[in-house]
Structure 1
Amino acid sequence: MTSVALGPTDQLDPRLLEHRRELTGYCYRMLGSSFDAEDAVQETMVRAWRGLADFEGRSALRSWLYRIATNVCLDQLNGRQRRALPMDLAGNPYPPVEASLAGRRPMTAWVEPVLDRQVIAEDGDPAEQAVARESIRLAFVAALQHLPPRQRAVLILREVLRWKAEEVATLLDTTVASVNSALQRARATLADLDGRPAPRTLDDEDRELLARYLDAFERYDIEAFVKLLHEDATQHMPPFEMWLRGARDIGTWMQGPGAECAGSRVFLTSANGTPALAQYRPRAGGGHEPWGLHVLEIEGGKVAHISSFLDLGTGLFVKLGLPAGFD
């Protein structure tokens, strides 16, 4: 057997490392956290290196790594509460006042964002990239968290990665009938949750909208900003439990409790298969500090939803590989 690794984990064979990005995407969908996914992939690499003596070429290296990654994720999910988004927890929107910030949970309670570049090959097949972007949309990842872990694995492997039922059965040490049954139950759950957003690509009008959105935010022209939102647009702000509904309430929030964001610097990136804004708020004493990653959903030529993941001492931006600040 040809060795797959050369020694310590920082000297892994390139054939092992070339699967790292797609494994990160798989673990992210399973766990709902890019940071937990990175930890899971690292553990997968360690287990693979330690288990080389048991890998005798009986299956493809990629399948073997997915088997290890699945077991790592199932171990992590054992006894753990599902991650969610604020709108999943509260039936009614909050008023746009500072008192709405009273409820706060640790980031481990929330579905966390992932940058597209962390999980999608930039030089991949366009059709495969489109499927990958759809399958990391926040609504879909949040819906996945409602599934029992093994159902979650079955659905991702079968419907996102397009594995055959026989391959999934082998990976999970179960039968094809069990895989098909789990897939049917998982599909029914997702259908009830309406967690599959319609796939779409950005057109020229969307790009123009994003340019105006960026400009209005940096100028902190709230009147212009609100005009770019759907009338019933929504926004939530993990780690806070609050969420807002309506362009008017979002504008009121930005002019009230959120007014300290005036003077921010922002730049456009891609997260969870959609456009996103990385915002750096003015820092006391000068410069700009990481503040929020705003993941946007665009529908009908306007912004329909804003998921604002706030970096409140959590190191979110650094963990995502975004700049730690600006002068």
Structure 2
Amino acid sequence: MKRSSTSGTTAADGAGPAGGGTGRTPGKEPAPRTEPADRTGSVDRLEAHRAELTGYCYRMLGSAFEAEDAVQETMVRAWRGYDRFEGRASLRSWLYRIATNVCLDLLKGGQRRARPMDLASPSSVDTPVGTGLPEATWIGPVPDQRVLALAADPAETAVARESVRLAFIAALQRLAPRQRAVLILREVLSWSASEVAELLGSSVASVNSALQRARATLAASGDTAADVVRQPLDEAQQALLRRYVDAFERFDMDALTAVLHEDSTLSMPPLELWLRGREDIVKWMLGPGCGCEGSHLVPVAANGRPAFGQYRADGTPWAIQVIETADGRITALQCFLDTERLFPLFGLPLRHGGAPGA
């Protein structure tokens, strides 16, 4: 994607380069600026970038809730500094500068988020379920509509969908924060090295070095931004999902086995427990997971993948399921159990048949 050039121009409240400085010529006072005539129009111009900024912050932070907080802070800083925005940079690149600073501040001293399979070996069916780890431990799901801005080019949309996959988000969290920003800006958003250097208050050589190190780390993790881009679900994949929903809702373990890949995985953050292999998954369903019998699945879209809100037989929410498929089978059931926060995020009611978001 061709991106417009960034600028050293700054605004108040952290809009300057992440490396520090004011972006102004020493000894030269800025020219007087006037209040924008149309503040409502200014808000509209800022809000037009919300979805793509949320996608950027989500890739940086690994949490939909932290991403939305970061974008809100970005909008507040941009609004406060709008009358001092001199327009030498595009509005879009100026907002990315602010958002990058906000994310880098949030990442200072924090632990990286991960998936259960990034932290330990597969569990056995007999492993105690446990009480779970704190929310800040885990990468969380995000609704597609929150992070995927509409693009005229279907290829751009496909790339954007791949770059919010849970596995790729997990791989990004292995990178140092500035390396993470460089890789996302260069390889996902297609900014030039000079644009990224200007945004970060760095040099082109430093940006290229950070990108090389980031690529090496991702290659070692087995996940890169250059993975094969999948097309929208075709009829065969849609049929597979229909078979999965039918098998899950009827709690038919033979039918469920037929749609699962031999090495499929089941994970359930905030629980540490995760399983590999369809046999163990089925055994778990018939044992500790027997409460899923009678569940109802409501389709949603998360992380560029098909997903479902799972309600138990009594109508209470149980999980957001994000589904991965390959070679005509389901390869991953990623179930997120923080329903009190996640169901409203996805516009789902807190009781099956209730009002959305209620």
1:135-161 Cα shifts (integer Å, max 9, x gaps):
001111000001000000000000000
Amino acid at match of 1:245: R
1:11-51 Cα shifts (integer Å, max 9, x gaps):
96211100000000000000000110000000000000111
Which among 108, 114, 125 is matched to residue 78 of structure 1?
Answer: 108
Amino acid at match of 1:207: Q
Distance 2:198 2:46 in 1: 21
Residues 269/53 of structure 1: CA separation in 2 closer, same or farther (3 Å cut): same
Do 1:233 and 1:247's aligned partners in 2 also have CA atoms closer than 8 Å? Answer: yes
Provide structure 1 residue ranges, at least 5 long, that are not aligned to the other structure: none
- For 1:42-121, list aligned pairs within 5 A: 42-90=72-120, 92-97=121-126, 99-102=127-130, 104-121=132-149
1:71-105 Cα shifts (integer Å, max 9, x gaps):
00001001100000000000x211113x4312620
Distance 2:257 2:63 in 1: 30
Match of 1:3 in 2: 36
Distance 2:295 2:334 in 1: 18
Distance 1:249 1:100 in 2: 14
Residues 57/146 of structure 1: CA separation in 2 closer, same or farther (3 Å cut): same
Which among 194, 217, 223 is matched to residue 254 of structure 2?
Answer: 223
Amino acid at match of 1:88: D
Distance 2:99 2:148 in 1: 17
Do 2:186 and 2:192's aligned partners in 1 also have CA atoms closer than 8 Å? Answer: yes
1:179-228 Cα shifts (integer Å, max 9, x gaps):
00000100000000012353212222111100110111111112211110
Matching of residue 174 in structure 1 with residue 202 in structure 2: yes
Tell me the secondary structure at the aligned position of residue 59 of structure 1: coil
Distance 2:151 2:182 in 1: 27
Q: Which has the larger radius of gyration?
A: 2
Q: TM-score, normalised by structure 2?
A: 0.85
Do 2:35 and 2:83's aligned partners in 1 also have CA atoms closer than 8 Å? Answer: no
- For 1:223-242, list aligned pairs within 5 A: 223-242=254-273
Residues 57/302 of structure 1: CA separation in 2 closer, same or farther (3 Å cut): same
Amino acid at match of 1:191: A
Distance 1:326 1:12 in 2: 40
Amino acid at match of 1:6: R
Percent identical: 58
Tell me the secondary structure at the aligned position of residue 206 of structure 1: helix
Do 2:43 and 2:79's aligned partners in 1 also have CA atoms closer than 8 Å? Answer: no
The alignment yields a C-alpha RMSD, in angstroms, of 1.7
Runs of 4+ aligned residues of structure 1 deviating over 6 Å after TM superposition are none
Amino acid at match of 1:291: W
Which among 297, 314, 318 is matched to residue 324 of structure 2?
Answer: 297
| TM-superposed deviation, 1:324 | 2.4
- For 1:264-279, list aligned pairs within 5 A: 264-279=295-310
- For 1:177-192, list aligned pairs within 5 A: 177-192=205-220
Distance 2:37 2:158 in 1: 31
Residues 63/282 of structure 1: CA separation in 2 closer, same or farther (3 Å cut): same
| TM-superposed deviation, 1:323 | 2.6
Which among 142, 147, 153 is matched to residue 170 of structure 2?
Answer: 142
| TM-superposed deviation, 1:294 | 1.1
| TM-superposed deviation, 1:279 | 0.5
Tell me the secondary structure at the aligned position of residue 295 of structure 1: strand
Match of 1:250 in 2: 281
Tell me the secondary structure at the aligned position of residue 288 of structure 2: coil
Match of 2:22 in 1: none
